Structure 1
Amino acid sequence: SLHVDVRMDPVGVNPQTVDVWSLPTWADSILSNHQPAPPHPAPIHDAPPFSIDNKINKKLCLWTGDITRMNAEAIVHSTNETLNEKSGYSERLLFKAGPKLKNELQNNIKNCKTGEAILTDGFNLPARYIIHTVGPRYNIKYQTAAESALHLCYRRCIRMCSREEDAYSGLLCDKLCKGRSYPPDQELTLPYGQFVDFWSTGEVVLSGWCL
């Protein structure tokens, strides 16, 4: 199961807060799901891009919901280079985190280049930290450059949330290229590949990741 170092007064927790460690892992979901599979389109890949590894799947959650409700070590905020993206997702996160976050981003940090990541406190959110990162815009002419930038985003987010003092941490990572024309299958394959690489080599101490 996933673990998070919770540093907040339980009395003050919003009843709609979702604890990341309460979510079933991907492996548990597969084992416990006896419902018939929903209709789906033909496979995109001729063969699975990754072999099934239950050790890794036990550290991974798939979740749909409002990221601002998640109580985790860190959540990832996909934004633009001036940290003020006008999207419903980004504006909701900034609003719920409170004015101190907006002040930190606009007056102290000011910008973040594509492929980079910046760490701030979670302020009024249940999450302890927010990792702000800028995903690339996709253009088939510059596919390799877009892939490299997206790799950097995920690598830096994972490393930021896998410090030794936070060895039992959980990271909630939303899609990093919302509204940037990135092919969905490629955008979702990349983060799983990054997590597999980091975890299998022992390069990180991150104990759980929620997508």
Structure 2
Amino acid sequence: MASAAAAGDGQFKLSQTSVLKINKGDITQWFIDGSSDAIVNPANQRMLGGGGADGAIHRAAGPELREACFKVPEVQPGVRCPTGEAKITPGFKLPASHVIHTVGPIYDSDKDPKGSLRNAYKNCLTVAKENNIKYIAFPAISCGVFGYPYGEAATVALSTIKEFANDITEVHFVLFSDDIYDVWVKKAKELLQV
């Protein structure tokens, strides 16, 4: 799907220098330039691959991604990336140059799911800026097996990105399913003046 973005419906201005694009597609195929771009992996705390988008990203990147993740020091036994934090690795066989791994909250068991989800997006953007990433693509963090309701998740995601994306040229959402895509576009129209 390269850098082609859905014109019209899915494009919004975040600031004078930053644009949001909401696309439907496969995040493992997304890239802009292969040097200053990153996809976000909705990882688990071990960072060694899993199901859904996490597993797909690990398969597409090849075994080098798991090796790089394994080298990230554990902050406690079995935890390389606590919920709401973000870590960066190369993209290896992915078209995008980097992967930013973040762990979203499990909606029903997190004490403050909104705060944890906000931190996941904010910390991904912080890590992107620290590594001169100009283009970043997010999935719908925590909306799969972690059970975050789509509308609430979209509101947290979009408001956090609007607040923290100043140094990022383009923020993309690459969403796999029609129902999540539709919710994200609807919320963006409500929250972001076109």
TM-score, normalization by structure 2: 0.74
Structure 1 pair 78/125, CA: closer, same or farther in 2 (3 Å)? same
1:55 aligns with 2:24: no
Q: 2:120 aligns with which of 153, 157, 163?
A: 153
Structure 1 pair 140/123, CA: closer, same or farther in 2 (3 Å)? closer
1:50-199 residue pairs with structure 2 within 5 A?
A: 55-56=13-14, 59-72=19-32, 73-110=37-74, 111-139=80-108, 142=111, 145-163=112-130, 165-166=132-133, 169-177=134-142, 178-199=144-165
Letter aligned with residue 2 of structure 2 = D
Structure 1 pair 81/56, CA: closer, same or farther in 2 (3 Å)? same
Letter aligned with residue 96 of structure 2 = A
Letter aligned with residue 9 of structure 2 = S
Cα pair 2:40 2:101 within 8 Å, conserved: yes
Shift of 1:60: 1.1
Letter aligned with residue 26 of structure 2 = D
Shift of 1:107: 3.8
Structure 1 pair 128/85, CA: closer, same or farther in 2 (3 Å)? closer
Q: RMSD in angstroms over aligned alpha carbons? A: 2.4
Cα pair 1:163 1:205 within 8 Å, conserved: no
Q: Give the gaps of 5 or more residues in structure 2.
A: 75-79, 174-194
Cα pair 2:49 2:66 within 8 Å, conserved: no
Give the match's secondary structure for 1:71. coil
Q: Which has the larger displacement, 91-100 or 104-113?
A: 104-113
Per-residue CA deviations over 1:10-48 (Å, capped at 9, x if unaligned) read xxxxxxxx323x3145xx3379xxxxxxxxxxxxxxxxx
- In the other structure, the counterpart of 1:11 is none
Higher-strand-fraction structure: 2
* Distance in 2 (alpha carbons) for counterparts of 1:181 and 1:60: 24
Cα pair 1:115 1:135 within 8 Å, conserved: yes
Shift of 1:64: 1.3
TM-score, normalization by structure 1: 0.68
Higher-helix-fraction structure: 1
Structure 1 outlier segments of 4+, above 4 Å: 163-166
Q: Give the gaps of 5 or more residues in structure 1.
A: 1-17, 32-53
1:29 aligns with 2:9: yes
Shift of 1:67: 0.6
Letter aligned with residue 56 of structure 1 = L
- In the other structure, the counterpart of 1:50 is none
Shift of 1:165: 4.3
- In the other structure, the counterpart of 1:6 is none
Letter aligned with residue 176 of structure 1 = I
Structure 1 pair 140/121, CA: closer, same or farther in 2 (3 Å)? closer
For the pair shown, the structure with the greater C-alpha radius of gyration is: 1
Give the match's secondary structure for 1:19. coil
Shift of 1:93: 1.1
Over the matched positions of the two proteins, sequence identity in percent amounts to 25
Structure 1 pair 113/60, CA: closer, same or farther in 2 (3 Å)? same
